[in-house]
Structure 1
Amino acid sequence: MDPLTPAALRSCLVNASRKERADLTPPADLDARPWDRLDLLGWQDPRLPKRSYVVVPVDGEPVGVLLRQADASPRRRAQCAWCADVRLPVDVVLVAARLAGPAGRGGDTVGTLVCEDFSCSANVRLDPPLPYEGFDRAAAREQRVADLRARSLAFVRAVAGGS
């Protein structure tokens, strides 16, 4: 993923109003992010509880989505829909995104379960457990990265209306 500026973060949001874009608080460590190992950039807004953002590259351009965390949390340990990691002690939360355009203005949303701290890019790069002798961990890791990119891209495209 290419490095992003606070202005780029605000301008790439597809489902946010002008006020919501202006209210966006970029991550404090934006300049220190490991951009070469990020498949998506996600963070919680420190000033606005239950609001978070995710930015995913779509055809080489950043596309951002404003997310709202559900008040209720899963009753048992859920699996992140993007990185599919169940081994880490990271909480998984339900987030919803208002659709872009007229559908979103009408109240239509789409939701998914994601790691609360958006650590998906790091999770998929961890060595998977060894299920059998001769298992190719490097190939499995590459597949997990590809799956994360595909799943997060599909979500952002669903919010943006297929763009």
Structure 2
Amino acid sequence: MQPLTESDIRSSFVNAMPDELAQLPIPGLHETLWNEREFLGWRDPQAARRGYMVSWMDDKPVGIVVRAAGGSLRPGIAAMCSFCHSPQPATQVRLFSAARAGEAGRNGNTIGSYICEDLGCPMLIRTAPPHLNPPATIAMRSESLLARLHNFTADIMKTA
């Protein structure tokens, strides 16, 4: 992933309301390992159910605001994130919804997906031991993750 600046992030959101942008917390960019990310994802410490995801699409950053559902999946079962396809305990996957861009979103039109609760998909695709996760596997998982995120984001951006 190409590095992002605070200005890149603040101007990238396609489905944010003005009040959300005014309160947008920026994560520690100086600590980010950009070459180990497909997107920048973080949860809002002041609004527990809100999260943000920014990725590069067509050489520009595109951000989306997501909201976690109030409940979680039943403990004791397995679940899979629809972005990184990492199987994990159900309590670590959450249904997130995102308002569509423009008037549709202002009218309450949303889409949803089950995503890692901490929005940490880029780290999860790299966590297996090296002998089980060689660079070629990571590259394949990275491409797939980015394709699924871009499809979700493109769906949010549809105006009709």
CA 1:49 to 1:147, structure 2 compared with 1: closer, same or farther past 3 Å?
Answer: same
Identity %: 37
Which of 135, 148, 153 lines up with 1:156 in the alignment?
153
What SS does structure 2 have at the residue aligned with 1:144?
helix
CA 1:64 to 1:140, structure 2 compared with 1: closer, same or farther past 3 Å?
Answer: same
Amino acid in the other structure paired with 1:101: G
Q: Which ranges of 4 or more aligned residues in structure 1 deviate by more than 3 Å?
A: 87-90, 126-130, 135-139
Amino acid in the other structure paired with 2:67: R
What SS does structure 1 have at the residue aligned with 2:71?
coil
Higher share in strand: 2
Instruction: State the alpha-carbon separation in 2 of the partners of residues 73 and 90 from structure 1.
Output: 6
Deviation for aligned residue 1:139: 3.2
> For this pair of structures, how many residues does the alignment match?
157
**1:140 maps to which residue?**
137
Deviation for aligned residue 1:159: 0.8
Under a length normalisation based on structure 2, what TM-score does the superposition of the two structures give? 0.88
Give ranges in structure 2 of 5+ residues lacking alignment.
none
Q: Is the 8 A contact 1:90 1:117 kept in 2?
A: no
User: How big is the alpha-carbon RMSD for the aligned residues of Structure 1 and Structure 2?
Assistant: 2.3
Instruction: State the alpha-carbon separation in 2 of the partners of residues 146 and 33 from structure 1.
Output: 20
Q: Is the 8 A contact 1:77 1:91 kept in 2?
A: no
Give ranges in structure 1 of 5+ residues lacking alignment.
none
Instruction: State the alpha-carbon separation in 2 of the partners of residues 71 and 91 from structure 1.
Output: 14
